[in-house]
Amino acid sequence: MGKEIDLLINYPRTKRNVEERGHEKTEEDRKIARQFGKEFFDGDRKNGYGGFNYLPRFWQPVIPTFKEHFALTNESSLLDVGCAKGFMLYDLKQEFPEMTVAGLDVSEYAITNAKEEVKDFLRVGNARALPYEDNSFDVVIAITTLHNLDFDDCGRSLAEVERVSRGKSFITVDAYHNDEEKKRMEAWNLTAKTVLHVDEWRELFDKVGYTGDYYWFIP
């Protein structure tokens, strides 16, 4: 197993009203969100992002952290699992124009409406069966993505990340340390099907043989 490390430390944080969100969200909202279509990305805020547009202030501050941690160069290769519209890969290519990049997302809508500059590197697919050969990428990244699968498929997706990477990876998943954080997570959650205590996550990592780095999303 890798180490717990916040590689998104420079990603801008927004102030979240978790209690209000918990009162507003319905099971119908979650059902719509889990389709990961237009309603999730560019529809009403109650069903997802409420407009998913490229803004450089989000991923540009994170790229230097990835660069240092993974020793990235123009010769590196990187896969983004759950790439959405490819915004992170776009910023990565600005730093490393010759880098080999790939993005995969379950949402046909997101890939169809991806940033034009990186669209050719993206494809529709599911993390539980990554359409790449063993050891295809120097680095595999999956940000707030794998937890959207049920428990068994979440385990499969972790094993898949391990399989297609050459030993370096980083994921973030919905988690909690205590009952208070669990309550907040339940109120906030819109799409995740697997939300576990941090110790349960580590047990799953160990069980499926995931050796990459990781961190938690806790609202």
SS3 98: coil
Whether the CA torsion 3, 5, 7, 12 is positive or negative: it is positive
- Does residue 72 sit within a domain? yes
Using one digit for the tens of pLDDT, what is the confidence trace for 139-171?
999 999 999 999 999 999 999 999 999 999 999
Total domains in the fold of the chain: 1
**Domain residues for 34?**
18-217
Note whether residue 12 is domain-resident: no
Task: Give the per-residue pLDDT at 13.
Answer: 84
Chain mean pLDDT for the chain? 95
Q: What is the mean pLDDT of residues 75-96?
A: 98
- Asked if residue 207 is part of any domain, the answer here is yes
Which structure tokens are listed for 125? 């697919």
Residue 149's nearest CA partner among 208, 191, 193 is: 193
11 lies in a domain? no
- Is the residue at 159 inside a domain? yes
Residue 96 lies in a domain: yes
For residue 163 the two structure tokens come to: 């399989």
Q: What is the pLDDT of residue 5?
A: 98
What pLDDT score does 16 carry? 59
Percentage of the chain beyond pLDDT 90 is 89
Cα atoms found within 13 Å of the Cα of residue 197, Cβ hemisphere only:
7
Q: Give the other-Cβ count within 10 Å of 131's Cβ.
A: 13
* pLDDT score recorded for residue 127: 98
d(CA 166, CA 77): 10
What integer pLDDT is reported at residue 14 of this predicted model? Answer: 74
Q: Does 8 map to a domain?
A: no
pLDDT higher than 80, residue 19: no
With respect to residue 13, please indicate whether it lies within any of the assigned structural domains: no
Instruction: State pLDDT tens for residues 123-136.
Output: 999 999 999 999 99
Separation CA 218–CA 23 (nearest Å): 18
Helices 198-208 and 151-164 cross at an angle (nearest 10°) of 50
What percent of the chain is modeled with pLDDT above 70? 95
Under a CB-based contact definition with an 8 Å cutoff, are residues 45 and 104 in contact? no
33-63 pLDDT, tens digit each: 999 999 999 999 889 999 999 999 999 999 9
Of 23-27, 113-117, 125-129, minimum mean pLDDT range: 23-27
Provide the CATH number for the domain around residue 72: 3.40.50.150
The pTM of this model reads: 0.94
